[in-house]
Structure formats: structure tokens, C-alpha cells
């Protein structure tokens, strides 16, 4: 009877939560109940359950009532805690290991509505144009207000190939209805490529920039990242752009491993639980897999949780420049607690802090260089209205015929404002990169950092008598013997760049 009463206790929790004032500046201290008071509430809860089951106008589903009660109790704690049925828990594990069914969208609950944290790359949601920050108001014409996350997810799930209609609200725009086809979502966590650095074409060894895109932090992320770095290092890239935009997070351990790949030591993150002594610190091991090359991390408002751990670790350790826009601001850690019958509780167990001791909860990571996604607009025309060519009877250029044909090609290539609305899916990866303003600026930063690094390494060779204080970047303090040997000096510099 006590066990049954304990399970039923959760029915009253949503009522208590709704009655409490939300977003108040000053939190009231928690008033704990005595054992006698708890037992009295459990008896009341049992009475509520039995009355609802017996008197409800339709046949009551006891399992549904109890699961709803447990969900309500956990949802009253924070938006990320929930009850996972056997089906939910199995799906969660499948998703974490790289494959699951659905639309490919990470959502959260906000003010009774469903908000998109981020779509996952190459999924129906991403291809349909759903963006981080969008709100979902209806699923198949049914309002989603006050649905739990699990209920909303179940409505969007279904047999692969079937369709679902979502009503989406972009910021500042009218609601629009889109139809998506459900699919088996196979998540490849890491994508990478060596992008040509045309501005550094004179230096063959530093003519490429390593681009690594991490779409989420799953069980396979660490292995995929190491393989990507290994491949890019063989191509002798000048530096790296680590793209964490619209990455909703994932495993804490994966975030630690990704940070460790770019660090040669130092704290990565600390987690702090309920008790003051419940603190765990995680540190990077010796060995920077990219050999000290410059790193730029791209983030935006869709970068959450594990993404923010990586960005914060590399920022606070001075290892990378963070570019983009303010991140999502989810600074809590969740854990699954199995209940023994195939179900589980997904519950927030700690807050995490960056190496400098900063919590990003509700604030996010502030980029070192803010670069908002933009579209370049040509302000200067190719040909001026006033030039030598505009004069009457001016001499023609010998190659004028070639220029005329080139003009015709340029006119075909020119696009109107309406053409900018074209489907991005028809563009090649290279064309998408060219239009990605944030990515282009990140590559510019890597290019500049690599050139500054090379300049400071080469300067001591040209002027041995220069004072060490004049050098802005000191690679390594050399011993007296190495100062007299150019070859030793050159060798030491190469080793230091690896460190």
C-alpha cells in the first residue's frame, strides 16, 4: 500500500508547480515536510487516484495516469527531467548510439510551447528549413501547449515514410505549416574536409584549413573526431575551424574527449551537485592532437550543453578563438537512472562550470568575436558610369570582343534578390560554404593566426640579437648551446609547435 501511495504522490506535483510563481527574482527557501505530513499527502493522493479512476466519465487507463503523474512530478523540477517508459528509454539509447526513427529534431519545453533547440544535420527537420529557436505550435493540426516533451516527441514519431504536419513559428514571422516525411535517422556525428585556402596559395604546405563539423555528442563522436584529425593532419592543414553551430549537445564524456583532443593540459569542466562537497573536476591529458595549430570554434544560439562545455574549455584555456553568436545557455547535467523494469528517470543531477568557474546556465558562452550570420551585398558595380569607356569615340581595347562575351556570362551569373530565395539544397557543398558568412570569417581568422604564428617563429632566425621582450609570441626558451647552432634551433622550434 505504501509503495502504491508513493507512486501516486506524483499526481499532485503539477498542481503545486503551477501554483508557484515562475521566474521570480528571489527564490523562496524550500520548506520540507515532516514524515507525518508526507504520509498524510500520500493518503490524499491515493484518494485522488481512486476517485478519478472510478468517477471519470470514460474508462480510465491506470498506467497512463501513473506515467503522467511521474512525468508531472519530474517536469516540476526543471525542463530537462522526465520519466522514460520502456519504449522511451530504448529509443533514448538507440539515439545515443547513432540511429533512431523520427524527424531529427532536438526540442525543449518553454512557456507551455515546444521550442526547437536544434535540427540535426541531414535529417527531415533540417532539410525542411526548421531552425534553432523556432516554436512548434501544432502537430497534425493539434495544439501542443502544455504537452510534456515525451508526449510531443511521441506525436512526431511514427513509421518511416509516413508524413506529419508541423506548424512552425519563426521569430517575427507568421506561422507556417510544413509537412515532413519521417525517416530512420542515422547520425554521423563528425564531418570534415580540408578546405583550400586561396589566400595562402603561395605556401603549399599551409594552403588548406581543416574544417570539422560536430552535429551532436554521441557514443561514436570521440572515435570519429580522432579519425578526422588524423586524416587532416596528413594533409598538413594550417589550422582548424571547429563548427559547433546548432549542436544541441549529448554525452558529457564526449564533450570532455573533444576538448581534450585540442588541449595539452588544464581543466576542461567541473560539475557540482546538490551537496557542497559534490564536486568533480575533469582535466585534459598531455598531448594536443592538432600539434598546437590555431583553432577557431564556431557557435550560435543553437549550440547547447556539451557544445558549450567544449567552447568554454577552449576559451578559458586560451586555446581557441570563439566566434559566432551567444550560445543557448544550458548549464546542467542529466543522467538516466534505470528503475529495474526497463523504464528509467532522466533527471538533472548537477550544474557544470567552465574552467574559470563560470556557470553558463541561462546565459551561454559569449564569443570572443561576435559574427552574426549575414549575407554579403555588392555595393560597388563592376563598371562605373563614368570612365574612359564612356567617352564618345574612345579607342576600343583589342580584347573588347573577349570582354563582351565575358559580360554576357556575368549577366547570366548575376542573381536578383528573388533568386536568393532559391532552395539551398540544390547548392553544392562548396557553394554553401561560400555563402556561409560565419564560416568564411572563421577561416579568415585561422589564416591570420597561422601567419602570425609563422612570423613569430621565423623572426628569431633573422635577428639573433633581438631582445626576447620584443617577441610577442615566445615558442620556447632555448639553452645557451642551442643559441649557437641554427640546426638545433630550427629543430627545437618544430618540436615546440607540436606542444
Cell digits of residue 403: 570582354
What is the sign of the dihedral through the CA atoms of 452, 458, 462 and 464? positive
Q: Contact at 8 Å (CB) between 139 and 172?
A: no
All cell numbers assigned to 429: 557543398
Query: H-helix or E-strand containing 254?
Result: helix 252-262
433 is a catalytic site residue = no
341 is catalytic: no
Rounded Cα–Cα distance for residues 385 and 404 (Å): 17
Round to whole Å and give the CA distance between 289 and 263.
8
8 A C-beta contact, residue 323 and residue 441: yes
Q: What is the DSSP letter of 377?
A: -
**In this structure, are residues 258 and 214 in contact, taking their beta carbons and an 8 Å threshold?**
yes
Number of C-beta neighbours around residue 496 at 10 A: 15
Q: Residue 208 half-sphere exposure, CB side, CA atoms within 13 Å? A: 15
| Positive or negative torsion for Cα 234, 323, 329, 101 | negative
Quote the CA–CA distance of 262 and 257 in Å, as a whole number.
9
**Spatial contact of 242 and 320, defined as CB atoms under 8 Å apart:** yes
Q: Give the long-range contacts of residues 6-10, CB within 8 A, separation 24 or more.
A: 6/42, 7/66, 7/69, 7/70, 8/42, 8/45, 8/46, 8/48, 8/49, 8/66, 8/69, 9/41, 9/42, 9/45, 9/69, 9/73, 10/45, 10/66, 10/69, 10/70, 10/72, 10/73
Q: How is residue 281 written as a grid cell? A: 573536476
Residue 475 main-chain phi, psi, to 5 deg: -75, -45
What are the beta bridge partners of residue 105? 119
Question: Is 316 one of the annotated active-site residues of the chain?
Answer: yes
CB 69 within 8 A of CB 336: no
HSE-CB for 326 with a 13 A CA cutoff = 9
Q: Which of 330, 332, 343, 450 is catalytic?
A: 330
Separation of alpha carbons 436 and 391, rounded Å: 41
How far is residue 339's CA from residue 61's CA, in Å, rounded to a whole number?
Answer: 21
Catalytic residue among 316, 327, 332, 343: 316
Smallest Cα–Cα separation from 208: which of 170, 228, 236, 167?
236
Out of 305, 307, 343, 450, pick the active-site residue: 305
Distance CA 73, CA 8 (A): 10
Provide the annotated active-site residues. 305, 316, 330
Amino acid at each position: 500500500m505504501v509503495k502504491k501511495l508513493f507512486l501516486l504522490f506524483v499526481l499532485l506535483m503539477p498542481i503545486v508547480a503551477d501554483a508557484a510563481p515562475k521566474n521570480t527574482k528571489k527564490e523562496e527557501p524550500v520548506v520540507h515536510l515532516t514524515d507525518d505530513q508526507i504520509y498524510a499527502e500520500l493518503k490524499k493522493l491515493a484518494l485522488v487516484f481512486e476517485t478519478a479512476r472510478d468517477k471519470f466519465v470514460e474508462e480510465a487507463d491506470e498506467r497512463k495516469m501513473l506515467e503522467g503523474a511521474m512525468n508531472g512530478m519530474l517536469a516540476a523540477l526543471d525542463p530537462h527531467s522526465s520519466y522514460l517508459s520502456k519504449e522511451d528509454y530504448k529509443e533514448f539509447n538507440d539515439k545515443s548510439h547513432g540511429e533512431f526513427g523520427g524527424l531529427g529534431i532536438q526540442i525543449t519545453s518553454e512557456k507551455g510551447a515546444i521550442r526547437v533547440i536544434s535540427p540535426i544535420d541531414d535529417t527531415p527537420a533540417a532539410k525542411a528549413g526548421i531552425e534553432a529557436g523556432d516554436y512548434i505550435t501544432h502537430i497534425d493540426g493539434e495544439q501542443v501547449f502544455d504537452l510534456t516533451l515525451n508526449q510531443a516527441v511521441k506525436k512526431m514519431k511514427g513509421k518511416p515514410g509516413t508524413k506529419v504536419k508541423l506548424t512552425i513559428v519563426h521569430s517575427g514571422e507568421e506561422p507556417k505549416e510544413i509537412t515532413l516525411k519521417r525517416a530512420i535517422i542515422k547520425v554521423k556525428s563528425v564531418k570534415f574536409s580540408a578546405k583550400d585556402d586561396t589566400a595562402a596559395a603561395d605556401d603549399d604546405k599551409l594552403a588548406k584549413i581543416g574544417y570539422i563539423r560536430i552535429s551532436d555528442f554521441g557514443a561514436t563522436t570521440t572515435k570519429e573526431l580522432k579519425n578526422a584529425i588524423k586524416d587532416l593532419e596528413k594533409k598538413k592543414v594550417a589550422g582548424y575551424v571547429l563548427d559547433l553551430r546548432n549542436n544541441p549537445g549529448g554525452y558529457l564524456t564526449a564533450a570532455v574527449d573533444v576538448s581534450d583532443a585540442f588541449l595539452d593540459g588544464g581543466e576542461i569542466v567541473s560539475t557540482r551537485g546538490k551537496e557542497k562537497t559534490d564536486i568533480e573536476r575533469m582535466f585534459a591529458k598531455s598531448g594536443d592532437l592538432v600539434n598546437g595549430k590555431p583553432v577557431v570554434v564556431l557557435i550560435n544560439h543553437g549550440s547547447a550543453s556539451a557544445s558549450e562545455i567544449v567552447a568554454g574549455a577552449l576559451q578559458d584555456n586560451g586555446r581557441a578563438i570563439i566566434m559566432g553568436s551567444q550560445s543557448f545557455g544550458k548549464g546542467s547535467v542529466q543522467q538516466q537512472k534505470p528503475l529495474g523494469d526497463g523504464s528509467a528517470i532522466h533527471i538533472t543531477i548537477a550544474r557544470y562550470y567552465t574552467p574559470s568557474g563560470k556557470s553558463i546556465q541561462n546565459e551561454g558562452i559569449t564569443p570572443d568575436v561576435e559574427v552574426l550570420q549575414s549575407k554579403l551585398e555588392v555595393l560597388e558595380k563592376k563598371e562605373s558610369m563614368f570612365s574612359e569607356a564612356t567617352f564618345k569615340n574612345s579607342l576600343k581595347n583589342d580584347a573588347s570582343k573577349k570582354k563582351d562575351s565575358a559580360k554576357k556570362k556575368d549577366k547570366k551569373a548575376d542573381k536578383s534578390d528573388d533568386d536568393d530565395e532559391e532552395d539551398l539544397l540544390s547548392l553544392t557543398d562548396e557553394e554553401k560554404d561560400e555563402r556561409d558568412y560565419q564560416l568564411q570569417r572563421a577561416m579568415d581568422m585561422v589564416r591570420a593566426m597561422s601567419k602570425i604564428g609563422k612570423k613569430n617563429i621565423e623572426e628569431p632566425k633573422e635577428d639573433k640579437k633581438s631582445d626576447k621582450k620584443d617577441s610577442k609570441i615566445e615558442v620556447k626558451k632555448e639553452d645557451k648551446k642551442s643559441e649557437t647552432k641554427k640546426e638545433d634551433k630550427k629543430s627545437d622550434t618544430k618540436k615546440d609547435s607540436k606542444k
